[in-house]
Amino acid sequence: MADILSGRADLADLQSIRLPREVLADFARGHPMQLHAAYEMTSVDEFLNTRVPPFNDVRVRRAINYAVDRDQLAALWGGRAQATLSCQVLPPNMPGYQPYCPYTPNPQPNGAYHGPDLTTARRLIASSRTTQTPVTVWGATDARDHALNEYFTGLLRHLGYRASLREVRDDGAYFSLVANSSNHAQIGESQSEADFPAPSTFYLPVLSCNSYLPKSESNNNYSEYCSRHVDELAVQAQTTQSSDPAAAPTLWAQVYRTITNDAPCVPIVNLRNAVLTSPRLGNVQANPVLGPLFDQMWVR
């Protein structure tokens, strides 16, 4: 950051250097024209295993979504410059995105999030009669991941579950373990990353019935979620993309609204690609997959 401010460097990618949230906030206040952020095609969520107690009860899955403080979770990911809180897995820059957030007090048509609703969460859990169920939170040991893991472990205990934490040092090993249904992973962090800007990429590979591969490390559907109704909606949306492209986004919005209601996961944030630049760097642009487009920028 000192090199950016002194002019010795022209660009710093925040995905690489991961500045502390307080430092980044100070920079944004003092140099707002030198901080640039654009949505990536990446969403972060906490999967809830729909086939394992207590999360095989939709009331419990919805309760966790009501109970989480998404503002606090977004702060763990670096704040608004690097992550935008979300109630659904589809990022805002994708076709078919419509703001929707039922998991907040007095939900509004504009989909705005107003904080957690612990009263509704506790009512749903009481009706499910699942308190005192043992729950193991899975996660990696990276500092940010650890903070997320501890947050969910503490929240589950607060809601009446016998929660414990199991962390895996290697990211690759972690995802292999939670992918395999033989391990009965109940809850843990996951990410969805699209290679191209199509709304299907946040459903078909990770939440469709075909994406669930039992007892396989190739399984990407950690929630073990399967809804024939949503599958049919997705097929209809894909077919409509060819026959009536203008109507397809509305159908995809129905897909993701239904998923949000079924709550196979707790959407946490949609990531943003943020860079710090020197005052002399112009025409700053970024690709949602590739990041900063250096060939489009110029130096005064």
Q: Which of 96, 110, 47, 101 is nearest to 254 (CA)?
A: 96
Domain annotation covers residue 21: no
Q: What residues make up the domain containing 174?
A: 40-272
Each residue of 87-145: pLDDT tens digit?
A: 999 988 788 999 999 999 999 999 999 999 999 999 999 999 999 999 999 999 987 88
**Into how many domains does the chain fold?**
1
Calpha distance 209→206 (Å, rounded): 9
Q: Domain with 260 in it: what CATH number? A: 3.10.105.10
Domain annotation covers residue 119: yes
Domain annotation covers residue 55: yes
With a pLDDT cut of 90, the percent of the chain lying above it is 59
Mean pLDDT for 9-13 is 74
Residue 26: pLDDT band by 50, 70, 90 thresholds?
A: low
Domain annotation covers residue 292: no
Each residue of 260-272: pLDDT tens digit?
A: 999 999 999 887 7
C-beta separation of 214 from 235 below 8 A: no
Backbone dihedral angles phi then psi of residue 164, each to the nearest 5 degrees: -135, 165
Each residue of 115-130: pLDDT tens digit?
A: 999 999 999 999 999 9
Domain annotation covers residue 284: no
Domain annotation covers residue 28: no
Domain annotation covers residue 2: no
Domain annotation covers residue 291: no
Residue 17 has pLDDT above 90, yes or no: no
Mean pLDDT for 34-59 is 85
Residue 275: Cβ-neighbour burial (10 angstroms; 0-12, 13-18, 19+): buried
Give me the pLDDT at residue 197, please: 76
Residue 198 has pLDDT above 80, yes or no: yes
